[in-house]
Amino acid sequence: MVRYPAGEHITVPRHVDTPRVRTLLSASTAVPVPGPAASLVMAPFQLALRTPLRRAFEALIPRLPEGPNAESRRRSRFVIECEARGEGGTRRGHVTGSDPYGLTARTTVEGAIRCAAPGYDRSGALAPSQAFDPADFLDALGSAGVQYQAPPAAG
């Protein structure tokens, strides 16, 4: 597992009183063969990005492949595990599905449709769970193969 700079560092504290948010990515998922070495390489790579080497890395980005083809996307699976710890104990949940690229498009469209609906009254920079009811939103993504399990909200 390697630390992953995700948006949750900003969005979760907007609606959850928490001193820390950590996001991790399975290195074997991101880089199948040298995955275990990824955690060893990540820290020096991050430091290198703070030096003039950053320009060299930025020049390489346009030369990288676009991403997986449609068949590879359909075959890909994802699991998002969530864990919250507090004085009341630990709660866990997960979301599973396939084609993360396609899911990004589906969630964006679903969010836009909901925001454009008559009566939608929220505005500003919101975490997704502030903008929409999480269970209702995830249920709407069921037709895209998204499944989830989460404990009921505490009291």
| Average pLDDT along the chain | 85
pLDDT at 123 over 90: yes
Residue 146: how many CB atoms within 10 A of its CB? 20
Whole-structure pTM value: 0.69
pLDDT at 128 over 60: yes
pLDDT the model gives residue 136: 95
What would the mean pLDDT of 47-70 be, rounded to a whole number?
87
Dihedral sign of CA atoms 54, 10, 93, 101 in order: negative
CA–CA dist 128, 136 (Å, integer) = 12
Q: How confident is the model at residue 15 (pLDDT cuts 50, 70, 90)?
A: confident
What would the mean pLDDT of 106-124 be, rounded to a whole number?
96
